[in-house]
C-alpha cells in the first residue's frame, strides 16, 4: 500500500536516528524547521513525530520539544516472560468479576459520569435506532432476524473493512452479541476441552475467562510491548506442543497498546497455516488508530486460518451489544452455534446501525473519536508525568484505549487496587492479565475518558497511594534502597 507523507517522514527520521545523527536525549529540530527542510506541512511533521513517539523512538518534553529516546527504553520482550510456560488450565481470580461489575476499569471514577457532554453522533445513532423501532414494530415483535444477522448490516460491515484492505462479502460475516461472544463462538467452533490455545502475554483477561469456561489449556507467549506477539515465540511453542488456536489482538492490544507490524502479520499467518493453527483475531480496537489506518491480520489470510472477531463496543457504544465474526472455513458451524446459544439478534438495533453506517455517520464518528482519544491519551500521560512522584515505565500507544504501566517492584497493584477502591478509585491490576504470577507491579489505565476534574484528582491520589506503598516496602525491606 502507498505510504502517507508522514509515514515516509517518520521512516526517514528513524533512519537518521539509527545512524546516530541525533543521539539519545538530544533535541530534534523544531516542527517548523523539519517542515521547511523536507517540504511538507507542519501537520505531516506532527503526525510523523507522534508515530515515532508511539514506537518509543522519541519522547516529548512539555513546552520544549521532541527528544531522542535512550536506546534501552524500547525493550521488546518483557524480561520476565522470555521462557514459555507449560500449558495449563485457567483459574480466573474473583477480583475479575468485581472489576467487571465496575465497568471493567475503563474509568477510574465511574461514579462521576458527565451526562451533559453527549456526542452528536451518539444522539444521531439513537435516532436511527428509534426510527427502526417505529418502522417495523409488528415484524420486529413477531419474527427473528435471519441466523447470520441482518444482511444489510453485514454488507455495511464488509464495506467498512474494504477501507482497511480486507476484501470480504456479507456471506462471510455473522452478527454476534459483542466481541466477547464472538471469541466464545470462535473457540467453540475450533477447539474442544483439553486443547491447547496460545495467547499473547500480558493477555486480554476476557479471553482467559473463556478458556476457563471451555476447559482449554493456555500457553502464554512472550510479546513485545510495542509490536505485540512475536512470530518466534509462536513458532517455538508450536515445535513443542500441538497448539489448536491462538487468540491475539494485533492492532492496539489491551493492555499494552502494541501494534504488530504488517510484515510480522504476514509471517504469523503463514506460520499458522503451516502448523494448522487457527488464529482468532480480536480486532475490537482496529478502527482506533490515531495516525494511520491499520490492516487486520485477516487481510493476509489466503487459506481461511484466521477468524476475525470484533464489535461496536469500543469504537461506538458498549450498550449496543452488537459484534461480528468474519470467517469462511468455519462459517456454517459458527452460525449453528449462534443459533444454539443466542438464537437471534435485535432487528431494530441492526436496522438502526445499518442506516447509521450507510449514511456515513459511523465514519464521521470514528474520525472525530480518534481525535478525542488522542487528546485524552496525552492528558492521561501528562497527568502521570506531572503528578506521580515514583519511577514509571510505559509505552505511548498510537491507538486503542489503554496504557500499560510498570511501577517499582515494591508496588503490588493488587494491594493498590484494594486501597484505591476504598476511596472510590478503580484500577485494573496487572495480575489479571496473566495465568502466572507475573505483572504484580503493573496496571492498566484507560484514556476512554478525559483526565480532568474528578478523574485528574483520582489520578493524583493514585500516584500518592503508589508512593505510600513504595515508602512502606522500603521501610521494612532496606535492600530496596540499593
Q: What is the mean pLDDT of residues 448-471?
A: 93
CATH 1.10.10.10 residue ranges for the chain: 5-73
Residue 309 pLDDT exceeds 80: yes
- pLDDT for 111: 72
239, 198 in Cβ contact below 8 A?
no
How far apart, in whole angstroms, are the C-alpha atoms of residue 214 and residue 209? Answer: 9
Percent above pLDDT 70 for the chain: 89
Beta pairing class for 65-68 and 306-311: unpaired
308, 325 in Cβ contact below 8 A?
yes
What CATH code is assigned to 5-73? 1.10.10.10
What CATH code is assigned to 91-116+364-481? 3.90.1150.10
- Element of type H or E holding 246: strand 243-248
CATH 3.40.640.10 residue ranges for the chain: 120-362
pLDDT tens digits, 112-134 = 666 556 778 889 999 998 898 88
CATH 3.90.1150.10 residue ranges for the chain: 91-116+364-481
pLDDT tens digits, 372-383 = 999 999 999 999
216, 194 in Cβ contact below 8 A?
yes
Residue 354 pLDDT exceeds 50: yes
179 compared with 118, residue with greater pLDDT: 179
Residue corresponding to grid cell 476484501: 167
- pLDDT for 79: 37
Q: Does residue 196 have a cis bond before it (omega within 30 degrees)?
A: no
Cell of 28: 530534534
pTM of the model: 0.82
How far apart, in whole angstroms, are the C-alpha atoms of residue 153 and residue 151? Answer: 5
Cell of 373: 482519544
Helical packing angle, 179-190 and 331-341, nearest 10°: 120
Residue 477 pLDDT exceeds 70: no
Phi, psi of 53 (to 5 degrees): -65, -40
What CATH code is assigned to 120-362? 3.40.640.10
Beta pairing class for 306-311 and 278-282: parallel
Residue 253 pLDDT exceeds 50: yes
Q: Which of 458, 457, 460, 474 is nearest to 411 (CA)?
A: 474
What is the CB-side half-sphere exposure of residue 371 using CA atoms within 13 A? 5
Residue corresponding to grid cell 463462538: 185
**Exposure class string for 385-396: b at 16+ Cβ within 10 A, else e:** eeebebeeebbb
Residue 303 pLDDT exceeds 50: yes
**SS3 of 282, please?**
strand
184, 164 in Cβ contact below 8 A?
no
CA dihedral defined by 182, 192, 208, 403, rounded to 10 degrees? -50
- pLDDT for 402: 94
Amino acid at each position: 500500500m502507498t505510504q502517507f507523507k508522514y509515514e515516509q517522514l517518520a521512516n526517514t527520521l528513524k533512519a537518521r536516528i539509527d545512524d546516530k545523527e541525533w543521539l539519545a536525549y538530544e533535541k530534534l529540530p523544531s516542527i517548523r524547521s523539519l517542515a521547511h527542510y523536507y517540504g511538507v506541512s507542519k501537520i505531516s511533521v506532527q503526525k510523523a513525530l507522534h508515530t515515532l513517539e508511539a514506537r518509543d523512538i522519541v519522547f516529548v518534553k512539555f513546552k520544549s520539544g521532541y527528544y531522542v529516546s535512550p536506546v534501552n527504553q524500547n525493550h521488546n520482550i518483557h524480561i520476565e516472560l522470555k521462557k514459555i510456560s507449560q500449558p495449563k488450565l485457567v483459574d480466573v481470580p474473583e477480583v475479575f468479576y468485581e472489576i467487571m461489575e465496575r465497568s471493567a476499569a475503563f474509568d477510574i471514577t465511574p461514579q462521576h459520569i458527565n451526562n451533559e457532554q453527549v456526542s452528536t453522533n451518539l444522539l444521531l445513532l439513537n435516532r436511527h435506532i428509534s426510527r427502526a423501532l417505529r418502522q417495523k414494530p409488528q415484524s420486529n415483535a413477531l419474527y427473528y432476524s435471519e441466523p447470520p444477522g441482518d444482511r444489510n448490516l453485514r454488507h455495511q460491515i464488509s464495506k467498512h473493512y474494504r477501507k482497511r484492505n480486507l476484501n470480504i462479502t456479507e456471506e462471510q460475516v455473522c452478527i454476534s452479541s459483542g466481541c466477547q461472544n464472538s471469541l466464545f463462538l470462535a473457540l467453540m467452533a475450533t477447539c474442544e476441552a483439553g486443547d491447547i490455545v496460545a495467547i499473547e502475554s500480558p493477555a486480554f483477561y476476557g479471553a482467559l475467562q473463556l478458556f476457563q469456561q471451555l476447559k482449554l489449556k493456555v500457553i502464554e507467549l512472550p510479546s513485545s510491548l510495542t509490536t505485540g506477539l512475536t512470530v518466534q515465540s509462536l513458532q517455538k511453542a508450536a515445535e513443542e506442543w500441538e497448539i489448536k488456536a491462538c487468540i491475539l489482538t494485533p492492532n492496539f492490544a489491551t493492555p499494552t497498546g502494541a501494534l504488530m507490524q504488517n510484515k510480522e502479520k504476514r509471517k504469523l499467518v503463514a506460520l499458522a497455516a503451516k502448523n494448522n493453527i487457527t488464529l482468532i483475531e480480536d480486532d475490537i480496537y482496529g478502527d482506533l488508530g490515531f495516525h494511520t489506518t491499520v490492516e487486520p491480520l485477516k487481510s493476509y489470510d489466503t487459506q481461511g486460518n484466521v477468524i476475525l472477531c470484533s464489535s461496536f463496543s469500543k469504537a461506538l457504544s458498549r450498550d449496543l451489544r452488537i459484534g461480528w465474526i468474519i470467517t469462511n472455513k468455519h462459517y456454517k458451524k459458527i452460525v449453528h452455534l449462534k443459533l444454539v446459544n443466542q438464537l437471534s439478534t435485535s432487528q431494530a438495533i441492526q436496522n438502526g446501525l445499518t442506516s447509521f453506517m450507510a449514511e456515513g455517520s459511523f465514519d464521521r464518528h470514528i474520525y472525530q473519536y480518534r481525535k478525542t482519544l488522542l487528546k485524552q491519551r496525552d492528558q492521561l500521560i501528562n497527568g502521570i508525568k506531572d503528578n506521580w512522584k515514583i519511577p514509571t515505565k510505559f509505552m505511548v500507544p498510537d491507538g486503542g484505549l489503554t496504557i500499560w504501566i510498570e511501577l517499582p517492584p515494591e508496588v503490588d497493584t493488587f494491594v493498590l487496587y484494594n486501597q484505591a477502591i476504598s476511596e472510590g478509585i478503580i484500577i485494573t491490576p496487572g495480575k489479571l492479565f496473566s495465568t502466572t504470577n507475573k505483572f504484580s507491579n503493573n496496571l492498566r489505565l484507560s484514556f476512554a475518558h478525559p483526565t480532568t476534574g474528578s478523574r485528574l484528582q483520582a489520578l493524583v491520589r493514585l500516584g500518592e497511594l503508589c508512593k505510600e506503598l513504595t515508602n512502606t516496602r522500603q521501610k521494612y525491606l532496606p535492600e530496596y534502597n540499593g
